[in-house]
Amino acid sequence: MDRHEITEIVTTAVVDGLGAEPDEVTPDATLLDDLSAESIDLLDILFRLERALKVKIQAAQLAEYVQGGIPDEEFGDADEIITEKGLAQLLRVMPQIDPDELRGTLKARRVMSLFTVDNLVDLVIHRMAVDAMEAGTPERAEVPA
């Protein structure tokens, strides 16, 4: 399955999960800010993806994926402002962000508000690759259990 197909499936899941208009759900739309997704909406979207793609993503894994395993105290400083190390990680999973604009102002609790539809596509692709590796070779992973 290529990125284009996965993007279509993710877009459908977001449109259906949010009850949004299809033209609102663009790749660069942020889920929380632009599309006003709430926690139960995210859960709905993730379950739709699980049914459509057999890929299981826990809601808590969204934030873990974005933070990339960096401990809280290294990700943000005492005032919760994201550190240089944190910014570098964010740029890896959300390449659309401008670190210069966010440096010194972005708080940890605001990080998820930058997460876009396209970032979710990346996460799904990442998760599918991890699942395939854990199940053996990619070829074997396609054989139904």
Partner 1 sequence: MTISGQVALVTGGSRGIGAAVCRRLARDGVAVAVNYRSSEGAAKSVVRDIEEHGGRAITVAGDVADAGEVGAMTEQVIRELGGLDILVNNAGVSQDALLYDMAMDAWLDVMRVNFGGVFHCTRAVLPHLMAKGAGAIVNVSSVMGERGWIGESNYAASKGAVNAFTRCAALEAARFGVRVNAVLPGFVPTDLVSALVEGDGGKSIRKQIPARRLGTTEEIADAVRFLAGPESSYMTGSLLTVDGGAAAVLGAGRP
Give the footprint of partner 1 on this chain (CB under 8 A): 40, 43-44, 47, 50-51
Q: With respect to partner 1, which residue has the nearer C-beta, 58 or 96?
A: 58
Q: With respect to partner 1, which residue has the nearer C-beta, 55 or 102?
A: 55
CB of 43 to partner 1, least distance (A): 8
Cβ contact 104:81 at 8 Å:
yes
Q: With respect to partner 1, which residue has the nearer C-beta, 40 or 88?
A: 40
- For the record, the structure tokens of 107 come out as 């708080």
CB of 3 to partner 1, least distance (A): 25
Q: With respect to partner 1, which residue has the nearer C-beta, 43 or 70?
A: 43
Nearest to 83 by CA among 110, 102, 64: 102
Distance, in Å, from the CA atom of 113 to the CA atom of 75, rounded to the nearest integer, reads 16
Q: With respect to partner 1, which residue has the nearer C-beta, 1 or 59?
A: 59
